[in-house]
Amino acid sequence: MYTTDLSGKDKNAAVAGVAEDPALIAAFEARVAADEFIEPKDWMPEAYRKTLVRQMSQHAHSEIVGMLPEGNWITRAPNLRRKAILLAKVQDEAGHGLYLYSAAETLGTSRDEMTEALLSGKAKYSTIFNYPTLTWADIGAIGWLVDGAAIMNQVPLQRTSYGPYARAMVRICKEESFHQRQGYEIMMHLAAGTDAQKRMAQDALNRWWWPSLMMFGPPDDKSPNTEQSMRWRIKRDTNDELRQKFVDITVPQAEAIGLTVPDAALKWNEERGAYDFGEVDWEEFYAVVKGEGPVAKERMQARQKAWDEGAWVREAARVHAEKRAAAKLAAE
């Protein structure tokens, strides 16, 4: 997206230790407050740039690592229709990762740099993908719950203040509209199926429910960046607001197909017009963030393997292009 000036990444940035011009900051904050879009070559505070690169690359990494749990079932999809749908969905995730990396690249960080940050463990990705997909029902649960939660996070980002990010999100949201539906359809089918299929569906809901709630991030009072991110329009709703919205929307969907949400504290609160629900196990959340998710090692191993084994291919194509360009030049 637009020119990526990798050499000029510090052009607009404050030199370390030197304060940024308060007039520039004020003008920037006013533009953002007026819901104007910030574009790659516009002046922006260094902290805004850094926050954006972190958020966009995390988002991109999540898409790419997110291909693995579902990819685990592509070869075993139960019929041809489901196989095609799953292939198309996992492919979409590759595309979404690509759009997001491109958006982040407009800020002067290359995709290779971001990939290396992921592989070295320096960069984070959504904790949800460090849980395993054990049965076919997990593919349904991921589409329904994980994509459902992701959509809730992503829809407001279509109006995020950074133009390339917002435009990437518009495309992503449009493409993802089928993801949640296909997941729910799988669950619906299983929940109305044989006893074994019902058991599979309920078990998947039991395992994916809480990790899905964790996808919205820590509670608001423990989310130090939220306030500034909201002011910068990088984020448009708080974690707890989105989590509540997700619970309120999802619980009736579970009930409609005869599945039980695994939360004894779950109860409709007439007064609030919302569900009360139990406390997320935040200790588990922080452990998974730290890389202690059940299959975190497998996920990183798979990404590392693809990266390492692809190196000769990337190199060959680059060398080939150079050879042909040189030959063409010589012929002219």
CB of residue 97 vs other proteins: minimum separation in angstroms? 6
# chain residues binding other proteins, by CB under 8 A:
71
In the region spanning residues 156 to 215, those forming contacts with other proteins, defined by CB under 8 A, are 168, 171, 175, 186, 189, 193-194, 196-197
Quick note: the x/- pattern for other proteins over 81-100, rule CB under 8 A, is xxxx--xx-xx--xx-xxx-
Stretch that binds other proteins, among 77-85, 125-133, 250-258, 267-275 (CB under 8 A): 77-85
CA dist 282 and 256 (Å) reads 29
Question: CB-based contacts of 171: which residues, under 8 Å, 6+ apart?
Answer: 99
- Pick one of 11, 272, 297, 324: the residue that binds other proteins (CB under 8 A): 324
Pick the binder of other proteins from 52, 53, 68, 128 (CB under 8 A): 68
DSSP state of 236: -
CB of 121 or CB of 310, closer to other proteins: 310
d(CA 132, CA 112): 27
Binding to other proteins, residues 129-158 (CB under 8 A) = 136
What amino acid is encoded at 189 in this protein? H
Stretch that binds other proteins, among 17-25, 150-158, 209-217, 301-309 (CB under 8 A): 301-309
Contact 239, 226 (CB under 8 A): yes
Q: Is 71 in the site for other proteins (CB under 8 A)?
A: yes
Stretch that binds other proteins, among 126-134, 234-242, 247-255, 318-326 (CB under 8 A): 318-326
> Which CB atom, from 72 or from 239, has the smaller least distance to other proteins?
72
Task: Note whether 80 binds other proteins by CB under 8 A.
Answer: yes
CA 146/CA 250 separation, integer angstroms: 11
Q: Is 298 in the site for other proteins (CB under 8 A)?
A: no
When asked if residue 306 is in the footprint of other proteins (CB under 8 A), the reply is: yes
Closest listed residue to residue 159, CA positions, set 10, 317, 302, 34: 34
The residues near 196 (Cβ < 8 Å, ≥ 6 apart) are none
Residue 24 sits in the site that holds other proteins (CB under 8 A): no
Residue 313 binding other proteins, by CB under 8 A = yes
- Cα separation, 138 vs 215, in Å, equals 16
Residue among 13, 6, 119, 107 nearest 54 (CA) = 107
Residues 6+ apart with CB under 8 A from 297: none
Q: Is 309 in the site for other proteins (CB under 8 A)?
A: yes
State yes or no: residue 20 binds other proteins (CB under 8 A): no
46 sits in which H/E element? helix 46-65
Min separation Cβ 186 and other proteins, Å: 8
> Binding of other proteins at residue 297 (CB under 8 A)?
no
Stretch that binds other proteins, among 110-118, 121-129, 217-225, 234-242 (CB under 8 A): 110-118
- Measure the CA angle with vertex 149, ends 143 and 150; round to 5°: 80
How far apart CA 68 and CA 126 sit, in angstroms, is 13
Taking Cα atoms as reference points, which of 185, 210, 190 lies closest to residue 201? 190
Q: Which is nearer to other proteins, 129 or 246 (CB)?
A: 129
Query: CB-wise, 118 or 247, nearer to other proteins?
Result: 118
